[in-house]
Amino acid sequence: MTKTYQTYGTCARFIDIEIENDKVISVRFIGGCSGNTQGIATLVKGMPVDEVIGRLKGIVCRGGTSCPDQLALALEETRLSKAC
């Protein structure tokens, strides 16, 4: 499953996410701090979706959210849409 998530409150504008068998296959941030977003994407590659959500949800940079938090929210949204 591939999904594009529109972020809010961060420098990144979108996140492209690929998930297979409840694992993160790839993540690509559009916008944001290139080094940080590439680092996040590399670290979560191959991780179970629930683990990524548990580790990243609630991390705050500015505006009450962050790129890692937005990734966690995007993954949660993907889970919800999959359940429907």
- Residues 8-52 pLDDT 10s: 999 999 999 999 999 999 999 999 999 999 999 999 999 999 999
Q: What is the pLDDT of residue 11?
A: 93
pLDDT of residue 80: 75
Edge to edge, what strands does the sheet with 12-20 contain?
2-6, 12-20, 23-31
Average pLDDT of span 41-67: 96
How much is the pLDDT for 83? Answer: 67
Burial degree of 46 (CB within 10 A; 0-12, 13-18, 19+): exposed
Say what the pLDDT of residue 84 is.
Answer: 62
pTM across the whole model: 0.93
The domains located in the chain, with CATH, are 2-83 (3.90.1010)
Tokens found for residue 70: 């937005």
**Residue 10 buriedness (CB in 10 A; 0-12 / 13-18 / 19+):** buried
The residues, any chain, with a CB within 8 Å of residue 71's CB and separated by 6 or more, are 15, 17, 27, 40, 44, 52, 56
